[in-house]
Amino acid sequence: MSSIDKYLSAAAKVLVDDKFANFIEKSVSAQSGLVANFFNGSEKPGDQLPFIFANFLSGAIAAVPVYGSALSAVSLLIFKLVIDNPDPAEQQKKLIADMIGQAMQKDAMEEAMNVYKGMVAHIQDKADAEAVILKGDQPDWITMRMKIENVFSHFLFSSSIILKENYEVVNLPIYAQFSALHLTFIYDVIQRASYFGISDLLKIHYCNTFKKYKKLYLDNIFRIYNKGQEEVMKKFPEKPLAKYNYHSTFNKYQEYRNTIMLDVYQYMHIFAILNIDRLALFDNGFNYVNPRPIFSKMIAKTVPPLKTKVVKQGATPVKVVNPEAMVSFRMPLDTILKKLDEQKGSFYFQEIWRVWVTANEERINSLQCQYYKSPLSAAPFTDIIGETNGVLQDLLGPLTNQLIFNIRDEDDDDRMKFIGLYSDKRVGATKYLDKTPTFDKVTFKNHKISQVIGIDRTSFRTKPTETDPGIYGLVVAFVPESLEPNFLDPTKLNIMSPMCLDQPIEKNFALQKNYNNVLGIDALLLKTNGEVVFDYKCKKPTLFIIYIDVVAPVDATISFWKLGEKAVNYDIVKGGELRQVSNQTIQENTQKFHLKVIKGQIILKSIYLAPVKPPKAN
């Protein structure tokens, strides 16, 4: 038997043979990025029973079709957690504690872990009881339902221990796991209500329970995340008049955000999109595609100011820093974040094919990215950042997971000299390209570069009337390397984030970050004449019903069409709705889809693409 064996009772072991267990472990090790697959459960033993389980390291939730009777979905999820790491949140907790400067209190940490392990024990107990029922000739459903209620009771009275005052930020990763497992368990029970012999009235109660705790958990996670940000800012405050390292606040801010996106968001994003009132749409399972970029540190060098002034200290005149000049040599957190938003850093477009720069002898003056698209003549560009002065050069990709850049030279110049893929493939200041470079690099394991975001210098250098054009620095956005956000699964519902655009939006939109205070789930406010373009593909030609999930602050009219076809208008009544907008056969060469607001405005939360009579999954 595999390592799963030691977590099963004798009754459960007869249902999980070595071949099956190894298949599960192999399947959950697959990397699929932030693309989540979620299957429903079977209603009665003996039928095909897809199991829900999670690869928590990559953030993917997937389904394994298993033929015949076996354990519940949640049981396998628990086994995977326990097998991978007996203490699944210890490293994350230590990292967060270091970032916020909080000493690790062993008793408080162990108390939270004991709650978590107690939860695992209760769910395992329920799984063992279910295994006995499936094996026996006379199912004991009363005992089964009692085990279910025992699990519910444990969740109900335990979460407050994990959120112990002054430790909730450090314990956020384990709270996210706790929350995800609770919601997974409720969802599993609802999906298999008739299998468990649960009445319609009790099923309604469980549906209301799911809604209640979904909101509670998401609200708590967002609140604690914001509290953690405040703690990071306290430990790494902006230092406008200090020398060097003016970006420590931004870099620590991003380090904290990246940690939460990888270790917290991945547990909860699937439930944020799951609407328990729309279960009929999810009968064949669903994919939720919502790429969340991981941002690098700020790539820029800061130096002492060029301008000083003389002041008197007593009878002795001394040179001191000119505060006005010093301010021009820093870029605070809010300024960098604003520039990321201006360049649509939260969106996913395509792999980068080329990076174009103009440069003179001393510095890079402008930067622009071009995304891969077939034919290459149609490859879209980002905006040009900086001023196009000097020699035009191109860094030919596609970019993978690493960029190199210059460190500060002997002249203490803070300019960007060059960027490249490696030491002999660089673009930038012509004076430095023939030299053997000394460089730093930015990279992110198991990720690929999705955007290179240029940061332009706009403040003055030595006096208020002098502008300082050119490229000041870079921030690089990464997404999981296996991500293919525009390819649809023909076997189940595909729910696509509006962040998966085909090309940048030019006007009449506003990004709604963490919409409804749900961490990691963004939406788009599209104003009158606002338009978005999506490019969906399917490797097997499949007929999909296309829906849009929208909220209309006021009555609105929208238009939806596929390129080359006639647009169709729809009236959207004030409020929220899931509106069917088209039926389309989608394949690998399908034209782009356009959505435009004709009147009013809408908040676009996601797009649903449901296959018509989907084929059975292999």
CATH number of domain containing 168: 1.20.190.10
Of the three residues 234, 253, 283, the one that is the final residue of a domain is 283
The pLDDT of residue 8 is 41
Please compute the mean of the pLDDT values over residues 158-165 and round it to a whole number. 78
- Same domain for 471 and 538, yes or no, is no
* Residues spanned by the domain of 93: 3-283
Question: Is residue 508 assigned to a domain?
Answer: yes
**What pLDDT, on the 0 to 100 scale, is given for residue 131?**
62
Burial pattern 441-462, b for ≥16 Cβ within 10 A else e, equals ebebeebbbbbbbbbbbebbee
452: nearest Cα among 522, 524, 364, 328: 364
Interatomic CA distance for residues 486 and 539, integer angstroms: 11
Considering only CA atoms, give the Rg of the chain: 27
pLDDT score for 571? 95
Q: Distance (Å, rounded) from C-alpha 352 to C-alpha 379?
A: 10
Same domain for 223 and 261, yes or no, is yes
In a domain, 490, yes or no: no
**pLDDT on residue 144:** 72
Query: Looking at residue 366, what is its pLDDT?
Result: 93
Predicted confidence band of residue 307 (pLDDT cuts 50, 70, 90) = low
Residue 6: how many CB atoms within 10 A of its CB?
11
Select the more confidently predicted residue: 309 or 588.
588
- What is the pLDDT, as a whole number, of residue 2? 39
pLDDT in tens, 432-462: 888 777 788 899 888 889 899 998 876 545 5
CB neighbour list of residue 453: distance below 8 Å, 6 or more residues apart: 339, 340, 343, 345, 474, 475, 476, 477
Residue 468 confidence (pLDDT):
61
Residues 368 and 430 in one domain: yes
Share of the chain above pLDDT 90, in %: 30
Same domain, yes or no: 245 and 350: no
Q: Work out the average pLDDT over 47-74.
A: 28
Query: Residue 200: pLDDT above 50?
Result: yes
For residues 345 and 424, membership in a common domain is answered with yes
- Among residues 225, 252, 283, the one where a domain terminates is 283
Rounded Cα gap, residues 258 and 253, in angstroms: 9
Report pLDDT for 618.
Answer: 53
Indicate the pLDDT class of residue 308, thresholds 50, 70 and 90: low
- Determine the pLDDT at residue 325: 56
Mean pLDDT within 394-423: 78
Residue 288 lies in a domain: no
The predicted pLDDT at position 229 comes to: 93
Last residue of a domain, one of 261, 283, 305: 283
The predicted pLDDT at position 264 comes to 81
CATH number of 547's domain? 2.60.120.260
The pLDDT value given to residue 30: 28
User: 520 in the Ramachandran plot: left (φ > 0), alpha (ψ -120 to 50) or beta?
Assistant: left
- CA 394 vs CA 330, 357, 367, 416, 453: distances in Å: 28, 6, 10, 15, 16
Task: Give yes or no: residues 303 and 237 share one domain.
Answer: no
Entry pTM: 0.80
Contact criterion met (CB below 8 Å) for 281 and 610: yes
Q: Which residues pair with 537 in a beta bridge?
A: 487
Residue 487 lies in a domain: no
270 shares its domain with 384:
no
- Inform me whether the pLDDT recorded for 31 exceeds 60: no
Q: What is the overall mean pLDDT for the chain?
A: 75
Question: Among 3-17, 107-121, 230-244, 393-407, whose mean pLDDT is lowest?
Answer: 3-17
Domain of residue 298, CATH code: 2.100.10.30
Q: φ, ψ for residue 298 (rounded to 5)?
A: -70, 120
Same-domain pairing of 278 and 369? no
Instruction: Give the H or E element holding residue 391.
Output: strand 391-396
Number of domain units in the chain: 3
Residue 186: its pLDDT value, please? 83
pLDDT, position 473: 86
| pLDDT of 514 higher than 70 | yes
Q: Is residue 616 part of a domain?
A: no
If asked whether residues 345 and 309 sit together in one domain, one would say yes
Q: Does residue 617 belong to any structural domain of this protein?
A: no
Instruction: Give pLDDT, residue 35.
Output: 32
One domain for residues 108 and 198 = yes
- DSSP string of 292-342? -PEE---B------S-EEEEEETTEEEEEE-HHHHHTT---HHHHHHHHHH
Check whether residue 464 and residue 500 sit in a common domain.
no
- Asked whether the predicted pLDDT for residue 71 surpasses 80, the reply is no
Does 231 fall in a domain?
A: yes
Is residue 486 domain-resident? no
Q: 35 and 68: one domain?
A: yes
